[in-house]
Amino acid sequence: MNTLRLNAQQGQDIATAADLLQQGKLVAVPTETVYGLAADASNPSAVAGIFTAKGRPANHPLIVHLHAKTALGEWAKDIPAAAWQLAEAFWPGPLTLLLPKADHASPVITGGLNSIGLRMPAHPALLQVLQLNQLAVAAPSANRYKKLSPTSAEQVLAGLNGRIDAVLDGGECEHGVESTIVHLTGEQIRIVRAGPITASQLQAVLKTTVLQPQQHQVQVPGNVDAHYQPNTPLRCLDSAQLHALLLEQPSNIAVLHLNALPTAQASVFTTQMPTDAAGYASQLYRQLYQADKLGVTAIWCELPPQGEAWLAVHDRLRRAQFIERT
C-alpha cells in the first residue's frame, strides 16, 4: 500500500487523518511522547491491522488514546478515585492509566487481558484528529516490533513505509520517550514503565506511596527486556571505561557522551547529549536513529547520572543494549 504523508499544519490533512481512521485505516500520528500507530479502538479488525503492520505479537496490549478526560468512563470500569485524580492532574499528558477494561472494549486491544491502558495525549494535532469524530484510537509506538520508537515522521516512514495508510507529520516529539504507565487496580499503586512523569509527581497528587518499577516484579506481555533497539549494537559505559576505550584508537564508532572527551579522532562520530534528564530523553531515540544511519560498527553511550528524573532514560538504555540469549 502507498503511505500518504499528511501535514498537521493543514486543516484539510487533519480532517483526512480523522476520515481515514473512521474508515478503519492505519494512521501514524504524532504524540507528545513518540509517534503512535493509530486505529479506531471501536473497530477490532482495524486494530488487528496494527499487529500485522508492526510485526507485534497479538498478546501485547495496546494503549487507547482518548479525546477527552471524561472518555475514561467509557473505556474503563470500577474506576478508583485515584484514576480520576491523576487524569485531572496530568491529562492531556504522558501518563497511561491501567484499569479494568469496559465490557465493550475488544480483547484485540488488550491482548486478552481484563485491564486496559488509557491516556489522553497532549499533542494538539492528534487532539484535533480525535475530537473531530470523538474518536478513541488504539496506538502503540509507530515502529517495527522491538525497534526504536520514532520521534519524527521520517523515522516512522523508515520503519513502516508501505505498511500503513498514512502518517500525519506533526514535527519532532516533545518528550522523546514513551509515557509513564501506572497500574491502579492492585493493592498498591505502582509504575510499570518509567516515563516523563515520576513517582514523586504522582505521589504529590495522590498523597500515597507509588512504587517505582524496580520495586516490584512486572509480568506483562509487551514489557520485555529487549526492546527499543537500534540496529547497531549499543554499549553503555561509565565515563572512565569510555575514555579508556577511546584511547585505544577505535574506528567506525558513534559515541553519545555527556562529559568532554579525549582528543577527537577520525571515524569516531561524537554527539554531545543534553545534561538534563528531560533534554537527554528528548534526544535519545533521535540520536540512536542518527547513529544507526552512519554505518558504524557500534554505538558507545556514556551512562547518565542516577536519580529519579533519569529512570526512564536508564530503562530505555538498558533495553536498547539488552542482548537476548537464544
Nearer to ligand TXA, 122 or 242 (CB): 122
Q: Cα 176 to the chain's mean position, in Å?
A: 7
The Cα 127–Cα 121 span in angstroms is 7
The binder of 36, among ligand TXA, Mg ion, none, by C-beta within 5 to 8 A per type, is: ligand TXA
The tally of CA atoms less than 13 A away on the side-chain side of residue 181 is 20
Does 315 contact ligand TXA by CB under 6 A? no
Q: Tell which residue, 64, 128, 52, has the closest CA to residue 97.
A: 64
Q: Tell which residue, 113, 133, 103, 25, has the closest CA to residue 62.
A: 113
Please report, as residue ranges, which positions from 122 to 141 form the binding site for Mg ion (by CB under 5 A): 141
Residues 6 or more apart whose Cβ sits within 8 Å of residue 52: none
Binder among 16, 43, 96, 155 for ligand TXA (CB under 6 A):
96
Nearer to ligand TXA, 192 or 296 (CB): 192
Does 141 contact ligand TXA by CB under 6 A? yes
Mapped onto helix, strand or coil, the DSSP state of residue 262 is coil
Are 127 and 92 contacting, i.e. CB atoms less than 8 angstroms apart?
Answer: yes
The binder of 220, among Mg ion, ligand TXA, none, by C-beta within 5 to 8 A per type, is: ligand TXA
Nearer to Mg ion, 231 or 252 (CB): 231
Binder among 222, 233, 250, 274 for ligand TXA (CB under 6 A):
222
Binder among 30, 36, 93, 304 for ligand TXA (CB under 6 A):
36
Q: Minimum Å distance from CB 140 to Mg ion?
A: 5
Q: Tell me how crowded residue 314 is: count the other CB atoms within 10 A of its CB.
A: 18
Does 223 contact ligand TXA by CB under 6 A? yes
> Cell numbers at residue 103, please?
465490557
Q: Which residue has the cell 558504524?
A: 296
Residues forming the site for Mg ion (CB under 5 A): 141
Residues within the interface to ligand TXA (CB under 6 A) = 31, 33-34, 36, 60-63, 94, 96, 98, 110, 113, 115-117, 139-141, 178-179, 181, 220, 222-223
